[in-house]
Structure 1
């Protein structure tokens, strides 16, 4: 195999090489059944085993308490932006959204078209360089729920501490940081995450919710937009994204084999420290775009002193085998997405490239 790229794409993103190789080995003949996993029926015992195993591993790795269910849905986190208020925002209530960047804003805009909303907290005054502290979040008496975005993929910010909002349901989008560290699931009533950043390929979305949140959806909703539809059928109401769920199951096994989320968190800290140290030790040549207390383990954003220097950095980085370092089109600058599957060696190579680039251009 030729040398693999240093893949810092924001999503779809890097997958573990071990997972890719196992999927390759099983692609044509899945465990001796004479068919690819892509060809089998979602009603078959082989796929039901994959589905059940993936749900079980998700619960095990996250320490999901009794009374919660795991669903595999379709439509990405963007569909959840609409499904959540459609299922949980009733007349006379207001949904509170904490604005931390682009993805939180998109979730809020979707909910505005469905019912009453309010901004429960915001980092706008800081240019979204800082996540609002738990005591800065407003919980109104008529709040249907509070929605947070755990990690802002574009801004490069992440909650260091999740808020405690009492009896009001707490809902969180964990699309870009799920399984990067341990999470106390009991603090939340509803979690969701698109898989294509830290769990697997695009095509499947994970929902982890209290059983009570998955019952008796409003009767006027279309069947596919009701959570109770999917809960009753164990995510098999319609044809699921079979191959995507299969890859998720392999990724979960890979994380378990590394030692679980505690080991994953240590590795992620070690990886990102290499790059943050290159930024902080540059004397201002590289500028971090997020306050240190809100920095993400998954998406590192930084800038250089001019557009010309940033273009040169991207050109030379691409020539050196680095992929995905150009910042999101809405904000520009640089972004290195250091998801679970990005190897330590890739982060080390990037830090060394940054230091060498500064030496030649500083």
Structure 2
């Protein structure tokens, strides 16, 4: 596929996205987010064709280095790379020399010596992906680092919202989400998805509320620009989008909630509770879901309202766009040549 002409929403050539890596939504300008979303739109249509093989990344090698377990993110990055024609290698920490005591830096240097053309990294420590990015010569994509960020998840969520709003005839003409009221509820404290979504959605013009039990609300939400709630019913009032998050028990050290039953009673999304939001409110969840805890099955599977499976679909297209854009310099795409990276 050829590179599309520049939109009036962002500069031409590499100035539209001057970054070598994709580490954090917080490092991106609004026009850079819009650029990636527009690029991903092309791949949405491509992925719905019977034949889904492009040669944009033919001859390139992508390494998916996952130091944490993953289903959706790992599979979608693997599918994305293969649909673009790249050779994709998955590295699982449980099967690597990390288990033998190798340091993260030594692992990064090893990957770099293999001359990969892009590395996708998921790691349990905040900042680990940025650290690796500074040690290697190729683009690095953050597939989630600790409680820091998960940028491609936020981008795919924004893409799923744009697709849904466009189908309803409700998308703003400039492609943003201006004025959209989004409520994010769940384990906000431990959620890198919540952080990236707060930054991404607000950059696109949305109004973001976050809701959680007091013990699961992080400090400094006002500095990010999100309005904090502990009363889920109040947070739902007039919401256009409700995004639920799971309880990340694997990151909890101590008692954060009385019990799953009590949590569902106060913070679970039921049909009755969804009725408190806007009349046609969209339901989202990044997965994996704990059905019957943070969300009931009849809400998660609600036709016309839930776009949870669309989020998964958009994940492949969004990650294809990110891989394709970040490897343009290596592939000699016009306008993406030498120069300093941001």
With normalisation by structure 2, the TM-score equals 0.36
Which structure is higher in RCO with an 8 Å CA cutoff and minimum separation 6? Answer: 1
Which protein shows a greater Rg? 1
TM-score under structure 1 normalisation? 0.34
